[in-house]
Amino acid sequence: MTAVTTSAPTAAEPSTRRRRPVGRIVLAAVAALIVSGVAALLLLGSRSSGAPLDPDNPQPPGGQAMARVLSDQGVSVHPVRSREALRDSTIGAGTSVVVTRGEVMTLAMWKAFFEQTRSADRIILVTPGDRALRALDAPISRRGAGFPRDTPARCDVPIARGLTITDGSERYDPADGSGVQTCFPPGGGFGQGGDRGGYLAVLPATADRPEIVLLGSTAPIRNSDVRDAGHAALGLRALGHSSRLVWWSVSPRDVDLVDAKDPVWPKWMTPVGVVLALSVLVLMVSRGRRLGRLVQEPLPVVVRASETTESRGQLYRKAGDRERAATVLRSGTRRRVSRYLGVPPGSSPAALVDAVAGATGRAPMDVHTLLFTAVPTDDAGLTQLAQQLRQLEKEVRHR
C-alpha cells in the first residue's frame, strides 16, 4: 500500500507575493523619472532660443553668457522678441535698452522705437545698419569693416577706456564738430587729421533722446567671443549702465514688409541701367545691316536636277552592269510602294507582294518576279523592266 505524502508549503510562495508590490513600486518610480525628465526638457526648450544674440540662446551665436553675467551683477534682464512686447514694456528712468539684429528693421520701425525709448537711460544698438542712423538723423555715417585684428580703444569714453577688441563688422565716421565720440579705430591716423572712424560710437544725450551707443561688433555679447580680449568688459560696461535692461532681439517675422520702402538696389542703378540700355540700342542700330530686296545672283553653271540620275545611268551602260541597274530600279520601286501602302520597313517579301497584289489585282507570282527576281539580259530588257516598274507604281497609286 503506497502512502500518500503531502508536501509542506514552500517559502517561495509568500516571497513571490511580496515581490509583486515591490516591482510595481519600481515601475512607478521609473515612469515618474521619465515624466520628470520630459517635463524638464520641455521647460528648458521653452526658455531657450535659437536666434543669434538672443539672451536665452546658449549656442555659440547666442548671448546667454552675457545675460547671465549681467544678472549676477544685479541687472534685471528682460528679453523682448516682438514689437507688441516692446510696447507693453515699461521704459523710463533706470532702464537701458539694447537692440540686436536691428539691421532687418525698417525705417518706420526705427522711428517708432526711438519715440518709445526717448525716456530710457541709454540705448545700445548692436550693428544696427544704415536705417537706424537715418532714423536718428545723426551726423554720422556707416562703413564696412576691414580684416579682424587686435584694435585698442584709443579714446577716453568710460565704457571703452583701456580695452581691446578683435572683431568688428561696422565702423562709424562722425562729422566734424558733431560731438560724437568714437573708439576702436581701424587706422593709425585716428585723431591726427586722418580717419576718425571707429567700431564704437557714443552719441551724447539730447532733449529728445538718451545717450546712444553704436556697437559695430557682436563679439562683446556673442557667446563664442565674449571671453576674448576685452569683449566681456565692453559688453558689461555698455549693457550694465542701469539696474534694468530691456533686451530686444528683433525677429525677421516681426518686420512689416509694407513699411519696407527702401529700394532693393542703389538709387544710381536705375539711371545707369537706362543709359546702358540706350547705348546698346544705338550700337545695334549703327552696326546693324539693312536688308533690301532679294537679288538673284547669276551662276556660272546651271545644273539640272536630273543630270545626276542621267550620268549614273550612263555609267551603268558603259560598264554593261545591267543586273546592278535592275537591282537599283527594283529597290526604289519597293521602297516607294511600301511607303504608299503602309508596309513597315523590314517586312518580308511575301508581305509586300501580298499588299501590292491586293492593291493592283495582279497575280502574286508576277508581282514577286517584277519586284525581286526579274533580271534583264540586254538594254531593251532593262528599259522594259523600268517601264513595268513605273506602271506598277501607277497602279498602286491609282487603286
Domains along the chain?
A: 63-249 (3.40.50), 315-398 (no CATH)
Report the alpha-carbon distance of residue 329 to residue 203 in Å, rounded: 101
- E strand intervals along 34-188: 76-80, 95-100, 122-126, 140-144, 151-152, 164-165, 170-174, 181-183
- 164-165 and 151-152: which strand pairing? antiparallel
Which regions in the chain score pLDDT beneath 70? 1-49, 146-148, 187-195, 256-265, 288-292, 399
- E strand intervals along 164-209: 164-165, 170-174, 181-183, 200-203
Q: Give the predicted TM-score (pTM) of the model.
A: 0.55
Instruction: Give residue 277's pLDDT.
Output: 93
Residues 164-198 pLDDT 10s = 998 788 899 998 888 899 999 886 554 445 567 89
Instruction: Give residue 247's pLDDT.
Output: 96
DSSP string over 239-308: H-SSSEEEEEE--GGG--TTT--S-SS-TTHHHHHHHHHHHHHHHHHHHPPPP----PPPPS----TTHH
Residues 89-145 pLDDT 10s = 999 999 999 999 998 899 999 999 999 999 999 999 999 989 999 999 888 999 877
Instruction: Give residue 28's pLDDT.
Output: 63
If we measure between CA atoms, which residue out of 222, 218, 219, 214 comes closest to residue 180?
214
Percentage of the chain exceeding pLDDT 70:
80
Instruction: Give residue 3's pLDDT.
Output: 44
